Structure 1
Amino acid sequence: MRIDFRSSPEPTLGVEWELALVDRTTRDLRNDATDLFAAAGPVMAQPEKLHSELLRNTVEMVTGICRTTGEAVEDLRRTLSDVVPTADALGIDLYGGGTHPFASWSAQQLTEGHRYAELINRTQWWGRQMLIWGLHVHVGLPEVSRVMPVLNGLLTYFPHLQALSASSPTWAGTDTGYASNRALLFQQLPTAGLPFQFERWEEFESFAQDQLTTGVVDHLNEIRWDVRPAPHLGTLENRICDGVSTFADLSALVALTHCLVVDLDQRVAAGEQVATMPPWHVQENKWRAARYGLDAIVILDADSNERLVTDDLADLVVRLEPVAERLGCSAELASVNDLVERGASYQRQRRVAEATGGDLVAVVDSVVRELRAGL
């Protein structure tokens, strides 16, 4: 099976930002995406940038093709600014977290459409548990032969991205003890989770053929890996990150992803053998970052060296500074250190819960306030 990769001559960016709909009063989820689309569409400058998702409690905002982190962030800010007044009129707030602290999965409604209905028909209880929201970052790659080496190299930095973005500590009213419960929930779907580490594009094509032939998927986009190629766009898509609630977090994560992918691609293009790690180390790193967040001790290489993730992030930001300068995102990359200093979303949510005696409504309030402050 041949899969054409629509190569991107420039390292362009595209960002997809999933947000939950919460009630202004109760702070529970609202299954009113259809009403929001109907009301917002006619007044939005670019209604095509607001998408539906699996459940009616979710909207996704997408950028156009962007060249810098700043451009992508401003694109999303404009869309959010268009949507918020309409949501206000409906008594809805937008919530940017990996999970909702207390919503019940059984009360959520499925978005109409054969694709979503078939997903739930197949996955049943686990599919209905998917009250999760994420941030997806696409980076354009110029050469199909470099896609899989770059993907494999990016997995070394999986825990760094997961820990920085972790925003889902609470599930169904209970603090799970994890920084990112979303990471472990999502991988329960049969085609989700960590990607296979193929060395050549032809191996990916063979894998995809097997998946289609055996009915595991009906379309390539049903391969829901944490990092995956998007052949029709000519991009590598990072789906590691939990949902985010501030433009500062958003900028840092987009810039870090952009710099990492471009740095890896340039090194592969220069003939360098990019370092990778055994799948068992990648899997362990995913678990450690989901469990401990920014306190995770992560595995650095195939030789099993370890280090505190925040220490490694500090050095990584310095190493990527020349790349960030070329990509026009030096300030945004530097803000990774600011994110660490103020605490990731999971830490900020826990601080609110502790200060309010475990009031999860107050936690939702805090996440909503962070998002609105960006406007």
Structure 2
Amino acid sequence: MVPEFKKSHAFTIGVELEFQLVDRESLALVPLAPRILESLSDQWKDRIKKEFIQSMLEVNTGVCHTIDDVAQDLRVVTLHLEQKAHEQGALLHPTSLHPFSRALDQQPTQDPRYLEILEDLRLVGQMLITQGLHVHIGVPDGDTAIWIVDHIRAYLPLILSLTASSPFFQGIDTGFQSYRSKLFEQLPRSGIPASLGSWDEYVRLCNMLMEGGIISDVRDIWWDVRPHPYFGTIEVRIGDLPPTFKEILAITALIHALVVYISRNRNLPPPPHRLIIANNKWQAARYGLNGTFVNLDVKTRLTQREAVTHLLARLEDIFLELGSKKYTDVLKEVLTLGSGSYRQRTLKERGLTFQEIIKETIEGFWNP
């Protein structure tokens, strides 16, 4: 059965970050998550959590009301995890694919649910050594959640192009700005969802999947955006993990403003066809901010960069109202400098090794 949609305060915020654990010397992925988790006191056990592989951990916020609340919350928990990782000889690497460690060398987390998923996915699951940024925004009811999910889909490619940070995989330049997104699309029940229309239709779909034995829980649906009835949120999952703390906050602020905008505007035109959105996502994954973005009215072709610029202008008053206007400067900086994948490639073209690129990325995480 699909759980009832939990009531939550509108537009509250929660953030989940997935970090790689790398050896302090070799900078290869290292399976130290179990030891780090064992070292945590009880107060941190709901804030730092296991993930699919043992060379990865998740940090998450509590329920926050502003982006500044998110910043304070995330800073404290991430610094604590950094300290605990350091005690075990590891560093946190903020990117969405490790550039040279092999996927088949990674150890799965010994959790019944993860092992069941891995048995179902086999090689597809073994390749999934990816990390991302997940942002939850509170909404009051299921129908509001579905309205937002249906309409925010059109903007998801822009979030991907801004966050793209996974150009290298197993020592290879993939040619993509976000190869993580392509690996993740190999999963069933992933990618851009179809338009759902109503909460009742979402429940009907989930019940069909459960009755067919395809899923056991709504969390087995891994769309790029999904309603989360347990938390009373919509969860935007498309983003790669940005390489700096300030970019994480800026992307969270953008998603927050978008959800407010869509929630308040109930006369929005129908979302574009799913094929249009999927092609915009492909362009974001392959070319990043330089990719093509077919505008929502399907009459105009822009670059992803131009589309982000238009979107920021449209949301300016909402950023001001939410107290997050300062984060638009960070987004504009990304438009100028490029996302994390562009910066990684620039370092590679300058002759840096993968290890040196990892060091640069780690050292830059807290840069103001």
TM-score range, shorter chain: over 0.9
Aligned AA (1:191): R
- Residue 81 of structure 1 and its aligned partner are, at CA, apart by 1.3
- Matched residues in 2 for 1:308 and 1:78: separation? 37
Give the structure-2-normalised TM-score.
0.96
Q: Which residue of 2 aligns with 1:222?
A: 220
- Matched residues in 2 for 1:80 and 1:201: separation? 35
Equivalent residues in 2 for 1:125-136, closer than 5 Å: 125-136=123-134
Q: Which moved more, 1:111-120 or 1:328-337?
A: 328-337
Q: Which residue of 2 aligns with 1:94?
A: 92
Q: Which residue of 1 aligns with 2:69?
A: 71
- Matched residues in 2 for 1:132 and 1:37: separation? 20
Matched, 1:322 2:317: yes
Q: Secondary structure in 1 aligned to 2:265? A: helix
Aligned AA (2:342): Q
Contact 2:2 2:206 (8 Å CA) reproduced: no
Q: Deviations over 1:75-131 (max 9, x none)?
A: 111011112222222210001111110110111101111101111111100000001
Contact 1:244 1:345 (8 Å CA) reproduced: yes
Q: Which residue of 2 aligns with 1:247?
A: 245
Q: Deviations over 1:323-370 (max 9, x none)?
A: 11221211113321122223210011011111125x111121122112
Q: Which residue of 2 aligns with 1:22?
A: 22
Q: Deviations over 1:20-66 (max 9, x none)?
A: 00011111100110111122x13x85332001001001100000000
Q: Secondary structure in 2 aligned to 1:18? A: strand
Q: Secondary structure in 2 aligned to 1:196? A: coil
Q: Secondary structure in 1 aligned to 2:271? A: coil
Give the structure-1-normalised TM-score.
0.95
- Residue 315 of structure 1 and its aligned partner are, at CA, apart by 2.0
Matched, 1:8 2:2: no
Q: Which residue of 2 aligns with 1:33?
A: 33
Aligned AA (1:148): I
* Percent of residue pairs identical: 29
Q: Structure 2 vs 1, CA of residues 120 and 92 (structure 1 numbering), >3 Å: closer, same or farther?
A: same
- Matched residues in 2 for 1:304 and 1:27: separation? 47
Q: Which residue of 1 aligns with 2:355?
A: 361
Contact 2:19 2:56 (8 Å CA) reproduced: yes
Q: Which residue of 2 aligns with 1:345?
A: 340
- Matched residues in 2 for 1:238 and 1:372: separation? 24
Aligned AA (1:222): D
Contact 1:349 1:366 (8 Å CA) reproduced: no
- Aligned with residue 285 of structure 2, among 286, 290, 305: 290
Contact 1:278 1:302 (8 Å CA) reproduced: no
- Residue 170 of structure 1 and its aligned partner are, at CA, apart by 0.5
Aligned AA (2:136): H
- Matched residues in 2 for 1:355 and 1:15: separation? 34
- Matched residues in 2 for 1:150 and 1:366: separation? 38
Q: Structure 2 vs 1, CA of residues 99 and 203 (structure 1 numbering), >3 Å: closer, same or farther?
A: same
Greater than 6 Å deviation, 4+ residue runs? none
- Residue 373 of structure 1 and its aligned partner are, at CA, apart by 4.4
Q: Secondary structure in 1 aligned to 2:59? A: strand
Q: Which residue of 2 aligns with 1:277?
A: 272
Q: Which residue of 1 aligns with 2:300?
A: 305
> Is there any run of 5+ residues in structure 2 with no aligned partner, and where?
none
- Residue 304 of structure 1 and its aligned partner are, at CA, apart by 4.3
Contact 1:156 1:300 (8 Å CA) reproduced: no
Contact 1:138 1:238 (8 Å CA) reproduced: yes
Q: Which residue of 1 aligns with 2:155?
A: 157
Q: Which residue of 1 aligns with 2:182?
A: 184
Contact 1:163 1:289 (8 Å CA) reproduced: yes
- Matched residues in 1 for 2:295 and 2:141: separation? 27
Q: Deviations over 1:219-256 (max 9, x none)?
A: 11111111000011111000010012211111110000
Contact 1:12 1:67 (8 Å CA) reproduced: yes
- Matched residues in 1 for 2:2 and 2:22: separation? 43
> Is there any run of 5+ residues in structure 1 with no aligned partner, and where?
none
Contact 2:246 2:366 (8 Å CA) reproduced: no
Aligned AA (1:135): L
- Matched residues in 1 for 2:87 and 2:286: separation? 38
Q: Deviations over 1:122-169 (max 9, x none)?
A: 110000000100000001112322222211211111111000000000
How many equivalent residue pairs?
368
Q: Secondary structure in 2 aligned to 1:48? A: coil
Q: Secondary structure in 1 aligned to 2:15? A: strand
Q: Which moved more, 1:234-243 or 1:73-82?
A: 73-82
- Matched residues in 1 for 2:84 and 2:366: separation? 14
- Matched residues in 1 for 2:2 and 2:85: separation? 44
